[in-house]
Amino acid sequence: MDITDEQLDEMEKNLTNIDFDIAEAEERRRRHDVMAHVHTFARCCPKASPIIHLGATSAFVGDNSVGYTSFLFPVKFRFVFAI
């Protein structure tokens, strides 16, 4: 599957265009938080919708978010302790 500049531009322009009401409704419907946001983002990016989920799984998203928060915890703890 080819990925076009037009699709990438569309996604970039809509990065902060998040309709949380639609995401909440999608999550109730799908019972899957990550896929709810994938489908919500696809509504904003109809040209890019076929490529939005390529290569990303919910485990990928969840594991990376846990990794970042685990990494930052010692930094946050030291910062609070310093204050």
Residue 1 sits in a domain whose CATH number is 1.10.275.10
- The count of structural domains within the chain is 2
- Is there a single domain that holds both residue 47 and residue 59? no
pLDDT per residue over 9-65, tens digit each?
Answer: 999 999 999 899 999 998 999 888 888 888 899 999 999 999 887 766 666 555 555
CA atoms of 25 and 81, how far apart (whole Å): 41
pTM for this structure?
A: 0.62
pLDDT per residue over 24-36, tens digit each?
Answer: 998 999 888 888 8
- Is there a single domain that holds both residue 11 and residue 41? yes
- Is there a single domain that holds both residue 40 and residue 65? no
Task: Supply the range of the domain harboring residue 65.
Answer: 55-83
Give 23's contacts (C-beta < 8 A, 6+ positions apart): 36, 37, 40
